[in-house]
Structure 1
Amino acid sequence: MKRLVAYITTGYPDSSFTVDLALALAEAGVDTLELGIPFSDPVADGPVIESANLRALQRGFRLRDLFEASRQIAPKIDTLWMGYFNPFYHRGIGTFVDEAVSAGVHGFIIPDLPYEEARPYKPQIEEAGLALIDFIAPTDTPERITMIARDARKFLYLVAYAGITGSGRSEELTPVLEKIREATDTPVYLGFGVTPETAKEKARNVDGVIVGSAFVKVLLDESLNNTEKIGKISAMAREIKERINE
């Protein structure tokens, strides 16, 4: 069974909604939830997730909202925190580790912390039983792919193309996947550009997919009320889960 990872932006439109949506996604078959930490400069994300980040910040998001929401969410679904390094550095990795363990969160995704620069922090994270998810991109050299893959925990985040989330590009990934499989048995999940329409093709030869922008577009749709947003995102999650396992 191929896995579905869903990204949502924490605190938009508010923390209560985040909890309700997360629990609905668990019921819809999502295997792992990325709770996005709103940040003013999400450099790896496209305009959809960037807009959700900024709206959450404008509505007063604070890290305590993430921590409190996670205590309600993490017992019900495998949960990771996805955010940029600035908040982790500013508050201290130790704070995030302690709060994650307390809430039952299983690890972090930090897209602007390269593998080499993450090395000083990995021991502290892994000693607490958490994972720091590593990225592999189609532009990585074979040597770097092998190095990252051998050190991976939980799953590898394979970036579908060089660029930002949501742009819908594609690249030939077979050589990258072959190199990963030579180095590790760790599951490989494909992110960037996954939608209901592309999910089946994107899931080919990988162990799961990561979906963000497609869900967050619905979050930003002001023509829908909160109940309608949850219903539409949950239905989309069910459809994607079915398609990747056809």
Structure 2
Amino acid sequence: MKKLVAYITTGYPDKNFTVDLALALKEAGVDSLELGIPFSDPVADGPVIEAANLLALQNGFKIADLLEVSAQIAPKIDTLWMGYFNPFYHRGVDFFLNKAEAFGVSGFIIPDLPHEEAATYKEAFNEKGIALVEFVAPTDSPERIAEIVKDAKKFIYMVAYAGITGSDRSESLEPVIEAVRAHTDTPLYIGFGVDEKSAKEKAKGVDGVIVGSAFVRILLKENLTNSQKIDKISTLARSIKEQINE
């Protein structure tokens, strides 16, 4: 069965809501959850996730909120931390690794940490048994893909196109998929622009999909109550999980 990974912005509208939504997504069939760490300059994200990041920061998000949420949900749903390298560098990668190990967080997704620089931290991640998720993209050569994926853990994040999250774009991904499959059995998931309209098509040839903007777009709807947001996001998650497994 193909997997569904859901991204949500931690602390928006508040940390208690994040916990409730995470547990509802588990019930809706989500296999893994990316807890997004709000950051002021999320360079890989489009306007939807960027808006949620900024609102969470305006509401007073602190790293302590991420830790509190993670302690409650990581024992119940496979949890990864998704964030930009600045907060990890500022507080120290070892700080986050120790906390992740304590809570049971299974991996980190850091889109602005290049593969070559990530190598500096791989030993520390491996010692803790925590994955540092690798990225591949249509712009990568077969040789570079071979280098990136050879020691990949947990899953490989395939970027659907060069650009930012949430865009409605497509590129030929068969060469990327073939290059990955030639060098590793690590599951390959596709992200960027995956929603209820595109999930079935984009799931072809891969092991799972990563959905963010489609869920966060509902988070941002001011005319919905918190319970309505959770219901709508859960319904969307169920629909996407069914579509990718038809």
TM-score range with shorter-chain normalisation?
Answer: over 0.9
CA shift, 1:122, in A, is 1.0
Q: Take 2:120 and 2:193, find their aligned partners in 1: how far apart are those partners?
A: 31
CA shift, 1:151, in A, is 1.6
Which residue is 2:86 aligned to?
86
Q: Take 1:166 and 1:125, find their aligned partners in 2: how far apart are those partners?
A: 29
Q: CA RMSD in A?
A: 0.4
Asked if 1:182 is matched to 2:210, the reply is no
Which residue is 1:213 aligned to?
213
Superposed CA offset, 1:96-121 (max 9, x none):
00110111101100000010010111
**Which letter maps to 2:165?**
T
Q: Take 1:150 and 1:98, find their aligned partners in 2: how far apart are those partners?
A: 26
- Mark the runs of 5 or more structure 2 residues left unpaired by the alignment: none
* Superposed counterparts of 1:56-205, under 5 Å: 56-205=56-205
CA shift, 1:183, in A, is 0.4
Secondary structure of the 2:120 match is coil
Structure-1-length-normalised TM-score? 0.99
- Runs of 4+ with deviation above 4 angstroms: none
Asked if 1:27 is matched to 2:38, the reply is no
CA shift, 1:42, in A, is 0.1
**Which letter maps to 1:201?**
E
Q: Take 1:197 and 1:40, find their aligned partners in 2: how far apart are those partners?
A: 29
Superposed CA offset, 1:42-69 (max 9, x none):
0000000000000000000000000010
- Mark the runs of 5 or more structure 1 residues left unpaired by the alignment: none
Q: Take 1:101 and 1:183, find their aligned partners in 2: how far apart are those partners?
A: 29
**Which letter maps to 2:12?**
Y
Q: Take 1:123 and 1:221, find their aligned partners in 2: how far apart are those partners?
A: 42
Secondary structure of the 1:52 match is helix
Q: Take 1:126 and 1:79, find their aligned partners in 2: how far apart are those partners?
A: 17
Superposed CA offset, 1:56-90 (max 9, x none):
00000000000010000001100000000000000
Q: Take 2:80 and 2:16, find their aligned partners in 1: how far apart are those partners?
A: 18
